[in-house]
Amino acid sequence: MATNVKFRIVAVVAAFTILLGVYTAKLWRPDVRFNNFYIYYTAADFVRSNESIHIYDAIDPGTNPEIILADQNTVWAQRMISFGISRTSLYLYPPTLADLMVPLTVLSPSAALIVWNALGVLMILGLSVALTKVLGVKFFGSTFLVAAVVLLFRPTLNTIYWGQVTILLMFLLTIGFSLYANGHKNIAAFLFVLAIAIKLEPIVVIIPIIVWRDWKCLRYLVMWSILLCLGLWAVNGSDALNLYFLHHLPAMSGGELGGSGGDIYNNRSLGNIFYTYLGGAHPVVSSRAIGWLYHVVSALILCYAGWLSRFKQGENSTYLRQFEIGMIFLLLMCCLSPYSWLYNWALCAPVVVMFCKRAWDGRADIVETVLLIAFLLSLSTSKFNMPMVTPILGVTLGIVALYRIRLERRPAESNNPMTIGLRNVPQPDQR
């Protein structure tokens, strides 16, 4: 299939999924609109009043906090109710995000929400600038086109609807890989550590850095991790951190892998597939066995992806190649996370832009193109059991792309951004 034909098909499918996502947004549940933002706001209010311990006081160690609401009699629930928030969901993350959001608590919840969404739009513009530069997209208005694609991507709209933190993570990780590939490893390491401290799943971004044996960046990661842990301890105290790591986190990791009552409406993760078909109302095996199976399969996938990310002996890395591998690990993170609700897949918006650029440059073969189209279509709806298909397509697309990148045998490029995104140019015969 000709390169321009493949790209046109991908572009049409992407446009279709964007339009469908905009249309289906009106069907989302009204009772959860901006709910996650109000959770973060409440947690930040506790931090501001030096009561960080109450962020996690509604936890039942025997129940997964991902799928329950807080007891109405807890201090946490009462604070949410005082803000006019009726859906008293639990705060699921380390206290980092709550600490960062303390300045917003000087505003009312409604005013803080406006600022939150405005910052989200600015972050999308910022990461779009980075994407166009690193991918070599240089036509007039390319930054605004990329920003529109990222913003109107169905999971991104779902992120805004819930008031989720995914746009911040998308910004930190995309800018982080852009800076890393451009040699700014200290700042990149800080952004990676901050993303991991907000939500633990981004820890998978360390895998390619380990595989590349980038000891300098790994030292920066350790340094920033220690400094951030000390900062969290100073702001929140040891009691709040102990509650999170010793009670809250084990309750999340040891719970069911599916949604509440086997809900698959939004949870598009590999773990949910195992839970739905092997557990559920009529379990084939125990939940513990399902958990072990999920962790083993996830580890094998990440190990294979890491192996494919290696550089051959004597081979120099390139700016573009490092960035593409980093983006693919974001895709794998969404697929393998125990809980990957629809809004979590907003992290794949920059990944989709990257894959579209590969199709445009003629670097994506027919298999990669078909997988990308199927992946986009699977995210466009929750009908026809599509949530079960998304993680399988995502893992397959990521592995195929890593294999294709490994097969590419280009002359070593410099880390000059001016050389990035150029198409293959026939090399002179030097024999």
pLDDT in tens, 352-374: 999 999 988 888 889 999 999 99
pTM, 2 dp: 0.87
420 dihedral zone (left: phi>0; alpha: psi -120 to 50; beta): beta
Which amino acid appears at position 371 of this protein?
Answer: L
Query: Which of 189-198, 337-346, 413-422 has the lowest average pLDDT?
Result: 413-422
What's the chain's average pLDDT? Answer: 84
Q: 314: pLDDT confidence band, cut at 50, 70 and 90?
A: low
Does 416 or 151 have the greater pLDDT score? 151
**Mean of pLDDT values over 59-67:** 69
Q: What is the pLDDT of residues 88-104, one digit of tens each?
A: 888 888 999 999 999 99
Percent of residues, the chain, with pLDDT higher than 90: 46
**Mean of pLDDT values over 210-234:** 94
Angle (nearest 5°) at CA 33 between 75 and 260: 70
Query: Which of 85-99, 191-205, 398-412 has the lowest average pLDDT?
Result: 398-412
Q: 251: pLDDT confidence band, cut at 50, 70 and 90?
A: confident
Q: 317: pLDDT confidence band, cut at 50, 70 and 90?
A: low
Does 417 or 210 have the greater pLDDT score? 210
Phi, psi at 29, each rounded to 5°: -65, 125
The confidence score (pLDDT) of residue 422 equals 42
Distance from chain centroid for Cα 272: 17
Q: Which residues pair with 89 in a beta bridge?
A: 69
Phi, psi at 199, each rounded to 5°: -150, 120
DSSP per residue, 20-76: HHHHHGGGS-GGGTTHHHHHHHHHHHHHHTT-GGGGGTT--TTS-GGG-B--TTSHH
Q: What is the pLDDT of residues 253-309, one digit of tens each?
A: 654 555 444 454 568 888 888 887 787 667 777 777 888 888 899 999 999 999 999
Phi, psi at 315, each rounded to 5°: -95, 135
Among residues 78, 25, 51, the alpha carbon closest in space to that of 235 is found at: 51
Q: Which residue has the tokens 């499918």?
A: 13
Question: Are the beta carbons of 146 and 354 closer than 8 angstroms?
Answer: no
The confidence score (pLDDT) of residue 284 equals 75
Q: What is the pLDDT of residues 32-54, one digit of tens each?
A: 678 889 999 999 999 999 988 88
Among residues 228, 246, 243, the alpha carbon closest in space to that of 55 is found at: 243
Query: Which of 77-86, 245-254, 276-285, 412-421 has the lowest average pLDDT?
Result: 412-421
Indicate whether 199 pLDDT > 80.
Answer: yes
